[in-house]
Amino acid sequence: MSKIVNIGLIGFGTIGAGVIKVLTKKAALLEKKIGVRLLLKKICDLDISRRRDVSVDKNILTKDASWILNDENINIVVELIGGIHPAKEIILRALRSKKHVVTANKALLAEEGEEIFKTAAENGVDVCFEASVGGGIPIIKALREGFVANRIESIYGIINGTSNYILTQMSDKGCDFKSALFAARQKGYAEKNPTLDIDGIDSAHKIAILARMCFNQPICFKDVYVEGIRDIDGSDLQYADELGFAVKLLAVTKCGGPDLQIRVHPALVPKSHLLAHVDGVLNAIFVNADLVGEALFYGQGAGQLPTASAVVSDLVALAGKITTQDHNVCLGIGQDKRHCVIRAIDDIESRYYLRLSALDKPAVLSQISTILGKYGISIHSVIQKGRRRAEAVPIVMMTHEAKGKKLRQALAKIDKLAVVKKKTVAIRVERL
Amino acid sequence: MSKIVNIGLIGFGTIGAGVIKVLTKKAALLEKKIGVRLLLKKICDLDISRRRDVSVDKNILTKDASWILNDENINIVVELIGGIHPAKEIILRALRSKKHVVTANKALLAEEGEEIFKTAAENGVDVCFEASVGGGIPIIKALREGFVANRIESIYGIINGTSNYILTQMSDKGCDFKSALFAARQKGYAEKNPTLDIDGIDSAHKIAILARMCFNQPICFKDVYVEGIRDIDGSDLQYADELGFAVKLLAVTKCGGPDLQIRVHPALVPKSHLLAHVDGVLNAIFVNADLVGEALFYGQGAGQLPTASAVVSDLVALAGKITTQDHNVCLGIGQDKRHCVIRAIDDIESRYYLRLSALDKPAVLSQISTILGKYGISIHSVIQKGRRRAEAVPIVMMTHEAKGKKLRQALAKIDKLAVVKKKTVAIRVERL
């Protein structure tokens, strides 16, 4: 007879229902594979009467998390309620009761990860979070275990499906941001309040989790520079395309020596790079590491079953630990601790794509380039789009490498010129 | 004090030297991460005097594998000699001595895997083979552990760097097969005898390993239909490009119901698919699975350090097992055993790209299409390239779905027509 691992699930929403489906349908297969029975013993949710697309025994349903947290036979608590409170309190209680935790809660790990991982280590249990980044992409396992001998140097992620869907729509259909957002809502890819996605916050949560794990630094959400995609215009995608680039919302983190970068912003990605071809709601994470060189992981970043698949893979890994009394140090903790300083976005150099709206007059370009020159920014190429004397026309410029601060200062001056009619759009060109 | 796991390395070539480098340079980091010391106790090679790019204590070098295989303190044998003999005998002896085995030997696993995995299971030890497929890509771990709850439905791999480099060169530089092969040799990407790579054999070894693992079937190398890239002409890459496709050497395996496909051949891949953008020596594996949907894993398929990274990740996983007395059933064994029949290549349907060399005469197209029609093959589009009355010109055709056998029979007839001057080139168009 197989050993049994008892699971308590807290949060019976879409992902919770997915986990139940997978554990039910695949129970026999998983038991055969791992020699352990994963038993869903109790389920907690504030709403236990609503019908879901999966049926469960009513006797295991509760509104009271304590019924799970106080149950000594429960080995693993799966937290799928999301948000900071009461998820944090529930997870801390579970860890202090020596229960392992599996969570998909990226906001919580990004904002309060320090306390959570510390509590787990103090209590000799694990917090597993494969489902928190990249849904169906086994990126946490790949980085922690597959690349266990590697020093991770940089990560570039397209890790928000909603934003990537919107940018892809704008690029493919030539539509504007609002119509693309509307299409995303119609498809169920965007929430009523899409701020978390389109303003880059969700991507920032995820890149903070990856950076903490890979660089073993106490990085949290507030350390991430964040810029969303609201200001991207359809024309930017078109001009970028003509120049050989796709525009993507990139989450970037790099660590070289004491210098650590962590930022989320739209970026021009050269079409020669695979990331430029990651379209629609799909996610991808591009990694540079000292031994393996470059690697990319691509797949569904969200959705009921991909996320449930990640949760169950964590359950399987923990089941192995529990049944063998494995008290190994958690991978990813105890790494090569580096003393890093997060570099301010102002100090990061980048090439830039600039789109200016300026009057079509002979002296305009000289005025603009004089200001850029004063701030040490040199121009790689200029294209003026259309000719309409005495009216504002778009001027697209690609600069050479310039520090964020210099560019910001130069643009402040440029945008005050009488011939410049709108705020200049600046998008970083990412060197991958 | 950390526990110690003793390792015996057999095969001190390029990869072996890489493993020694990684174990030496990263010893402290790995020990901190996993709480176990990976100790390289003995190294065996036929040549122990040659200088390598890594220095080792001469006292641990031997020419006699028995010095390792008979050492009761050695927990893991790393086999990196390659080829079938004596690698097979060494691995079997190691397993029977209850030693775990880590190997990068794809030919051996593809040809003799059945006996090796059976022997491992009988002796309660593991054979780990992350390094055998996709070098630095943690594909084995992703499929076995990350996708543990998934039913794998299909795998499409670009898993031979040499072939992919040659096809990329031909496409980018417009050169022919021979010049591209020459360039690959210059770069060190092709062996003196490149047969294993360009004739698809290496890809067939790897896809056989993946199919056995994912579908739990006794698949071996001889079950794989194999076609290489020698007959691909520069013009095929150009015409495919014009039609919106890249030509790739694909390794494909699918399992649906009792029907199993396993094949390696050049294929047209639509540019809208990420696999079409995997260039140079890089490898990628595209997977469809029931829960996660589509996923892609990309990275270095070979090389000293990427491969050593994979070997060491296996050592780390085994170290965990050894120090915790984990006798879990090996993941991937004990899967949902399906009763599958491998479908003959003749019975597999596909769209085809055809390039005919035919005289530029009015009746030619009707003669060709009449024969195709007799075999039930309908034409999707035809482009005649150039006009040279009374000389052979290329005619490029795209067909609708047709069975391999029908196409083969039709082409045999077509190639006998007086107006057809060369053997017709047929490349499958893969529906991904």
- CB-nearest to A149 from B141, B297, B312 is B312
Pairs of CB atoms within 8 A across A/B: 204
Q: What digits encode the pLDDT tens for the residues A192-219?
A: 899 999 999 999 999 999 999 999 889 9
Range from A31-35, A208-212, B54-58 carrying the lowest mean pLDDT: A31-35
- CB-nearest to A294 from B29, B299, B323 is B299
* DSSP class per residue in B82-94: -SSTTHHHHHHHH
Q: Do A320 and B328 touch (CB under 8 A)?
A: yes
A contact test, residue of B32, B291, B311, B322 with most A CBs within 10 A: B291
Taking the CA of residue B21 and the nearest CA in chain A, the distance in Å comes to 11
Mean pLDDT for chain B overall = 94
Would you say residue B346 has pLDDT above 90? yes
Q: What is the pLDDT of residue A331?
A: 47
Cβ neighbours of A294 in B, within 8 Å: 282, 298-300
Q: What is the pLDDT of residue B330?
A: 47
Would you say residue B101 has pLDDT above 90? yes
Q: What is the pLDDT of residue A330?
A: 47
Instruction: Give me A152's structure tokens.
Output: 């991770």
Q: Using a cut of 0.90, tell me whether the model's pTM lies above it.
A: yes
Would you say residue B321 has pLDDT above 90? no
Cβ neighbours of B7 in A, within 8 Å: none
Q: Do B145 and A299 touch (CB under 8 A)?
A: no
- CB-nearest to A148 from B33, B290, B326 is B33
Do the beta carbons of residue A358 and residue B60 sit within 8 Å? no
Q: What digits encode the pLDDT tens for the residues A291-302?
A: 999 999 999 999
Cβ neighbours of A335 in B, within 8 Å: 29, 32-33
Cβ neighbours of B172 in A, within 8 Å: none
Q: Do A138 and B147 touch (CB under 8 A)?
A: yes
Taking the CA of residue A175 and the nearest CA in chain B, the distance in Å comes to 20
Q: Do B297 and A292 touch (CB under 8 A)?
A: no
d(CA B258, CA B343): 9
Would you say residue A282 has pLDDT above 80? yes
Q: What digits encode the pLDDT tens for the residues A111-130?
A: 999 999 999 999 999 999 99
- What share of chain A has pLDDT > 90, as a percent? 86
Range from A245-249, A321-325, B232-236 carrying the lowest mean pLDDT: A321-325
- CB-nearest to B293 from A35, A136, A291 is A136
- CB-nearest to A33 from B148, B277, B299 is B148
Would you say residue A329 has pLDDT above 50? no
Q: Do A305 and B312 touch (CB under 8 A)?
A: no
Range from A171-185, A405-419, B325-339 carrying the lowest mean pLDDT: B325-339
Q: What is the pLDDT of residue A338?
A: 64
d(CA B406, CA B425): 15
A contact test, residue of B2, B15, B23, B33 with most A CBs within 10 A: B33
Q: What digits encode the pLDDT tens for the residues B182-225?
A: 999 999 999 889 999 999 999 999 999 999 999 988 999 999 99
Q: Do A292 and B136 touch (CB under 8 A)?
A: yes
Minimum Cα–Cα distance from B30: chain A residue? A149
Average pLDDT over residues A87-109: 98
Average pLDDT over residues B169-190: 95
Catalytic residue among B42, B99, B106, B206: B206
Taking the CA of residue A233 and the nearest CA in chain B, the distance in Å comes to 24
pLDDT band at B329 (very low <50, low <70, confident <90, very high): very low
CB atoms within 10 A of CB A390: 7
Cβ neighbours of A290 in B, within 8 Å: 305
Instruction: Give me A14's structure tokens.
Output: 């879409």
Cβ neighbours of A147 in B, within 8 Å: 138, 309, 313
Q: What is the pLDDT of residue B339?
A: 76
Q: Do A293 and B308 touch (CB under 8 A)?
A: no
Q: What is the ipTM of this complex?
A: 0.95
- Which residues of A have a catalytic role annotated? 206
Q: Do A26 and B277 touch (CB under 8 A)?
A: no
Taking the CA of residue B276 and the nearest CA in chain A, the distance in Å comes to 10
Would you say residue B389 has pLDDT above 90? no
- The structure tokens 């695949």 sit at A26
Q: What digits encode the pLDDT tens for the residues B233-251?
A: 999 999 999 999 999 999 9
d(CA B371, CA B351): 17
pLDDT band at A386 (very low <50, low <70, confident <90, very high): confident
Taking the CA of residue B367 and the nearest CA in chain A, the distance in Å comes to 41
Q: Do A295 and B299 touch (CB under 8 A)?
A: yes
Taking the CA of residue B207 and the nearest CA in chain A, the distance in Å comes to 19
Q: What is the pLDDT of residue A337?
A: 64
d(CA B253, CA A14): 32
Minimum Cα–Cα distance from A24: chain B residue? B149
All domains in chain A, ordered by first residue: 3-135+304-324 (3.40.50.720), 142-300 (3.30.360.10), 348-429 (3.30.70.260)
Minimum Cα–Cα distance from B314: chain A residue? A146
Would you say residue B331 has pLDDT above 80? no
Alpha helices in B159-303 (DSSP H): 161-173, 177-186, 195-198, 201-215, 234-242
Q: Do A299 and B292 touch (CB under 8 A)?
A: yes
Taking the CA of residue B390 and the nearest CA in chain A, the distance in Å comes to 42
- CB-nearest to B335 from A22, A32, A299 is A32
- CB-nearest to B328 from A34, A135, A325 is A34
End-to-end CA gap in chain B = 52
